[in-house]
Amino acid sequence: MTALIKPHGANALTPLIVSDSKRNALAEEAAGLTKLAVSSAAAGNAVMLAAGYFTPLNGFMTKADAMSVGATLKTTNGLFWPTPVLNLVSDASALSVGDRIALLDPNVDGHPVLAVQTIESIDQFSEEELATLTKQVFGTTDSEHPGVAEFQSQGNTAIAGPIEVMNYSYFETEFPDTFRTAVQIRESIAEHGWKRIVAFQTRNPMHRAHEELCHMAMERLDADGLVIHMLLGKLKPGDIPAPVRDAAIRKMIELYFPANSALVTGYGFDMLYAGPREALLHAVFRQNMGATHFIIGRDHAGVGDYYEPFEAQDIFDQVPQDALEIELFKADHTAYSKKLNKVVMMREAPDHSKEDFVLLSGTAVREMLSEGKAPPVEFSRPEVAQILMEHYQS
């Protein structure tokens, strides 16, 4: 069997989900432990740790590691890591170092136990330290930024230490056909016999330009397979819900990609909207799931006007050579060319003016869909537009 790309910082994945044989004993223990309600962000971190995406981390970071990641893109022991993986709370008065505690899932009815954590340290961030970390990770401290607002709402005390995770929260039950762990995606890649694998990140439905970008990347990289990997966690208001995105993307793959050339998968995490830093994180966990190449386009993981259009590509030039094995496919803005009757990367059509492209803003597309009008076929496949129209009109 073909050897897949190595996981980040390890020879094998280190998923923190407990085995079936240990689950009952851990559940019994958890029943008698101090309970801690965690934030949705911490729950997402736990799911990513459980699924092997955050290999080789063994749990939540200490304050020292988080500050080191913010300042240097490395943990205190030198592991390349782009964003802090924290369990932040506002009140830790009932907790002590050495305790084992049961972490309650904020996103599932009845708040069941999501994981058990062994507390290695409890550290408070000063206001100044949190502001510094916020600026380093998000590039801004503006509370209008959805990622900043979420981060600043979690509390200032880091509960650090290893975790054992009981389940994948709501992701496995709500998205049984789409949610996949890093372990499962590696298994699928191996079953297909793929050697060169392109990963595509999305939190939106895929329009013609995204579809063609995937075809372009596969062709130019001579790739065997494509893994469309969609975020299934919390988004900002107005973003299209995961089930609708999922249906739209599956329809596109079914009709416009060769059989067995693409996997439609998803992961359980809330969007950070951290632009360049989140692009690095995306690359880390795409390497962990077995992809050899990763598409990064214009304004990857961005929001509003907080980041320059290609800042998420440029940040990879600051990363040490040996930090990541996954390679980038750097994409420009793609759009349909009326001159050439196909989707192109705009930088590869220097003889075009703006009028030669079919360009639509997200707002314009949403308005069309909500009025029951399909966007032009150059922008969106009619079968995909139909699914989106039904969503907007409901």
Q: Take residue 232 and report the two structure tokens written for it.
A: 């299934």
**Residue with the larger pLDDT of the pair 207 and 143:** 143
Amino acid at 383: E
Q: Is the pLDDT of residue 1 over 60?
A: no
> What does the DSSP assignment read for 210-250?
HHHHHHHHHHHHT-SEEEEEEE-S---TTSPPHHHHHHHHH
Q: Is the pLDDT of residue 351 over 80?
A: yes
Q: Is the pLDDT of residue 126 over 90?
A: yes
pLDDT tens-digit profile of 229-238? 999 998 877 7
> How does DSSP classify residue 378?
T
- Contacts by 186-190, CB closer than 8 A, 24 or more apart: 186/4, 186/13, 186/289, 186/290, 188/263, 189/4, 189/225, 189/227, 189/263, 189/290, 190/1, 190/2, 190/4, 190/290
Per-domain residue ranges of the chain: 20-172, 177-393
What pTM was estimated for this model as a whole? 0.96
From the list 237, 199, 246, the residue with the least C-alpha distance to 218 is 199
Q: Is the pLDDT of residue 2 over 80?
A: no
pLDDT tens-digit profile of 259-288? 999 999 999 999 999 999 999 999 999 999
From the list 188, 175, 334, 183, the residue with the least C-alpha distance to 262 is 188
Query: Rounded mean pLDDT of the chain?
Result: 95
pLDDT tens-digit profile of 288-335? 999 999 999 989 999 999 999 999 999 999 999 899 999 999 999 888
- The tokens 């997200």 sit on which residue? 362
Residue 205 has φ and ψ, to the nearest 5°, of: -60, 160
Q: Are 304 and 268 in contact (CB under 8 A)?
A: no
CATH code of 20-172, in short, is 3.10.400.10
C-alpha span between 249 and 232 (Å, rounded)? 13
- Between 3.30.70.580, 1.10.340.70, 2.30.180.10, 3.40.50.620, what CATH number should domain 177-393 receive? 3.40.50.620
Q: Which residues are catalytic?
A: 203-204
- Contacts by 124-131, CB closer than 8 A, 24 or more apart: 124/63, 124/156, 124/157, 124/158, 125/63, 125/156, 125/157, 125/158, 126/156, 127/156, 129/63, 129/67, 130/156
C-alpha span between 85 and 307 (Å, rounded)? 22
